Amino acid sequence: MINEDKNIPFFLVLTPILMMVSAMLITIVVFEGAPHIPLVFGTIIASLVAWQQGFSWKKIEDSIYDGIRLALPAVVIIILVGLIIGAWMGGGIVATMVYYGLSLLRPDLFLISITLMCAVVSLAIGSSWSTMGTIGIAGMGIGASMGIPLGMVAGAVISGAYFGDKMSPLSDTTNLAAGLTNTDLFVHIKNMFYTTVPGLILALGAYWYLGSGFVSTEAEITKISSTMVLIQDNFLISPWLLLVPLSVIVMVGCKIPAIPALIFGIILGFLCQIFVQGGTVASSLSALQNGYIIDTGNSFIDSLFSRGGIESMMYTVSMTIVAMTFGGVLENTGMLKSIVAKMSGMTKSAKTLIPTTIASCFITNATCSEQYISVVVPARMFSSVYRERGLDSRNLSRALEDGGTLTSVFIPWNTCGVFILATLGVSVLEFAPYAVLNYSVPIIAIIYAITGSFITKLKPEQYTQPNQILKPTG
């Protein structure tokens, strides 16, 4: 007799997760391989456990497909970012941003500058991925030209991009966290100031300290000047080209969805490569498919601008799909629910409930490889628990973002981790120490919970109100 609603024993729930993580560590650390196969292995083990516990193969198969369907919006954005990088490289748009960035920004203040730039852009458009795929790409080029380690630059880009994303009313995860917990969107954003703004201040302080070691010596100025000359020799540099990224930012800021705005940016970059840079239609199409390739004889310039294209994103796309097959089985067979329920049962007050929520978000990021699931599942599991403990829903919505949205970047096989690797070209191990905002905010949130600071409790009359969980509003 098949039982689709069977509760799987907790030790069996942990089996596929522990085996996947073990396989992941061996594959990546010992054999220096990719994370795809360990995730496939984890999906197989999870499916076998579910099947042995009475789930039909159709239910398991549908779970896999559901996971993949959840990843499709991310896959579309990943492909579009690959196209926009290829188009903007070939169109000289990134070269123009790098050129003017080198002429205007000082090495000692660069990390602070790029953090604030990414924060402002991400706040305006509500998307950390779009910010990293546009402004972040240029920032990586500028930082590399100044001799700043790429891990530092990536960390600053990520901190700024995720600050803006988290605090923007246009952000999908911000709306998701508020909607799932029945919290007013702007109450949710205002409540996040208590953890996110101190996190940004800590990040800027760290970048000021790190940046102070990069001074404009004569040798450094000569290197930057020679880089600018090489850029001018190989691209037509014009301030008019800056209108292309500006137009994309304005479109998204005017609430035009990200996908049509990115497509518009791709078309403009494609046209710039033909009519501004003098490329052929064939070479411009090749830049979209295979990435822009430049051969100047200077290895640094060649590596800096030979990037992008759909093909460059296929590793990330396959990684995203494979990761979501594992997450789909865990989510739809109740395994993940079992883990979160076990954790929620151990909480007695805000001192333990909020840290437990943050930990469950991180664990969901690591096991299901998708930041949206890390918000959705704990929201479902902890909503009634917060009410029972006399805590306002804004505490839960903030914890979901502090623990889910921000920590997703630290999991190499999470969709956010693989996107950053494909877009910025830096691995998690390289940028993790420098993504200061992303790890300081969860720590600040835990300190608040332990000390009772900035925790909002329910008023007596609110205990009688129904505890609804609403769908996200945007």
Query: How confident is the model over 418-435, as pLDDT tens digits?
Result: 899 989 999 999 999 999
With a cut of 90, say whether residue 355 has pLDDT above it: yes
Q: What is the mean pLDDT of residues 357-374?
A: 86
For residue 5, name the pLDDT band (cuts at 50, 70, 90): low
pLDDT given for residue 461 in this prediction: 60
Q: Which range, 173-182, 220-229, 243-252, 443-452, has the best average confidence (pLDDT)? A: 443-452
> So where are the chain's domains?
72-313
Q: Which two tokens stand for residue 376?
A: 């959705």
For residue 474, name the pLDDT band (cuts at 50, 70, 90): very low
Q: Please tell me the distance from the alpha carbon of residue 106 to that of residue 98, in angstroms, as a whole number.
A: 13
CB 68 within 8 A of CB 324: yes
Q: Can you tell me whether residue 12 is helix, strand or coil?
A: helix
Q: What is the mean pLDDT of residues 57-68?
A: 92
With a cut of 90, say whether residue 357 has pLDDT above it: yes
- Other CB atoms within a 10 A radius of the CB of residue 260 amount to 11
Beta bridge partners of 391: 457
pLDDT given for residue 142 in this prediction: 93
With a cut of 80, say whether residue 4 has pLDDT above it: no
**Own/partner long-range contacts of 334-338 (Cβ < 8 Å, ≥24 apart):** 334/5, 334/6, 334/7, 334/8, 335/8, 335/13, 335/16, 335/17, 335/46, 335/49, 335/50, 336/364, 336/367, 336/368, 336/373, 336/377, 337/377, 337/380, 337/381, 338/7, 338/8, 338/10, 338/13
For 102-143, the pLDDT digits (tens) are 888 889 999 999 999 999 989 877 889 889 988 999 999 999
Q: What is the mean pLDDT of residues 222-245?
A: 92
Q: 386-405 in b/e burial notation, b at 16+ Cβ within 10 A?
A: bbebebbbbbbbbbbbbbbb
Chain mean pLDDT for the chain: 88
For 307-333, the pLDDT digits (tens) are 889 998 898 788 878 888 888 898 889
Q: Please tell me the distance from the alpha carbon of residue 41 to that of residue 468, in angstroms, as a whole number.
A: 38
To the nearest whole percent, how much of the chain has pLDDT over 90? 52
Q: What is the mean pLDDT of residues 22-34?
A: 83
pLDDT given for residue 233 in this prediction: 94
With a cut of 90, say whether residue 388 has pLDDT above it: no
With a cut of 90, say whether residue 458 has pLDDT above it: no
pLDDT given for residue 1 in this prediction: 34
For residue 405, name the pLDDT band (cuts at 50, 70, 90): very high
Query: What pTM was computed for the model?
Result: 0.84
pLDDT given for residue 460 in this prediction: 67
pLDDT given for residue 385 in this prediction: 85
**Cα 84 versus chain centre, distance:** 18
For residue 397, name the pLDDT band (cuts at 50, 70, 90): very high
